[in-house]
Amino acid sequence: MKFDALRAVLKDTPYMGVDEGWELYNFVLRNRPQRCLELGHAHGASSIYIAAALDEVGDGHLDSVDLLSSADRVPNIESLFAEAGLIRYLSVYRETNSYTWFLKRKIEERSSQGNCEPCYDFCFIDGCKNWTIDGLAFFLVEKLLRENGWILFDDYRWTYARHQHKPENDGITTRSLSVEEMEKAHVELIFHLLVMQHASFSNFVLQDGAWAWAQKNARGAKALQETSKLPLPQELAAPSL
């Protein structure tokens, strides 16, 4: 599906904007990940950029995970995909508590004789931005990520202190966090202390201060590169998305 055709489907659906969607879409076109995983799909905006690019490539699949409550979103991911005609690229999973339980199940499913056979080429983590949950999610995803697969974290600089009013961090009450936990950017900590120190990861890129990429490939560069996103083509720079 062409990128500009997505505008009619997405209209003003939160959360991912058109410029980030363009980046994600092009990442999939360039890298052709066969099996994609998304942790935190909300309405499915980011998911549909991934699936539209898989459709252009002509192959691939997206497993997308969120909480049970995401079924009640309007639109929800299923209705968005049905409208786009992309449902064959998608499997939706909903958890009572957390995507870490989905990952537990997937690791079990992929394990035999004490080894977990990886199955994903790309994982986009855009969920709760919490040290405890996403720190664990990273180690679980690592087990499922194939060699040369990419992991992408959104919200590198997000803090509880600056987003106290946001209700989307289901289950984590700010009352149970210390001032330091409120003020530190958890994704940035996860990226520096867990991802960049992990022996299997390299090719670290921080894009526009918000997206942190890493590749499961021990032979790549170990320093953090900073880049900006691909510029949107003029004709796609719509003000309303």
Ligand X SMILES: C[S@@+](CC[C@H](N)C(=O)[O-])C[C@H]1O[C@@H](n2cnc3c(N)ncnc32)[C@H](O)[C@@H]1O
Chain residues that interact with ligand X, rule: CB under 6 A: 15-16, 40-42, 45-46, 65-67, 70, 95, 98-99, 126-128, 133, 168, 170
- Which sign, positive or negative, has the C-alpha torsion 25, 29, 33, 35? positive
Give the residue with the Cβ less far from ligand X, 16 or 54.
Answer: 16
- Round to whole Å and give the CA distance between 35 and 146: 10
Q: How far is the CB of 141 from ligand X (least distance, A)?
A: 13
- Helix (H) or strand (E) holding 180, with range, is helix 179-183
Burial class of residue 120 (count of CB atoms within 10 Å of its CB; 0-12, 13-18, 19+): buried
Q: How far is the CB of 125 from ligand X (least distance, A)?
A: 9
Give the residue with the Cβ less far from ligand X, 97 or 227.
Answer: 97
The residue type of 56 is E
Q: How far is the CB of 171 from ligand X (least distance, A)?
A: 7
Q: How far is the CB of 67 from ligand X (least distance, A)?
A: 4
Give the residue with the Cβ less far from ligand X, 98 or 207.
Answer: 98
Give the residue with the Cβ less far from ligand X, 121 or 154.
Answer: 154
Give the residue with the Cβ less far from ligand X, 162 or 222.
Answer: 162
Position with the least CB separation from ligand X: 40
Q: How far is the CB of 165 from ligand X (least distance, A)?
A: 14
What tokens appear for 207 in the block? 């894009």
Query: How far from 221 is each of 35, 216, 217, CA to CA, in Å?
Result: 24, 11, 9
> Beta 145-153 vs 120-125: how paired, if at all?
parallel
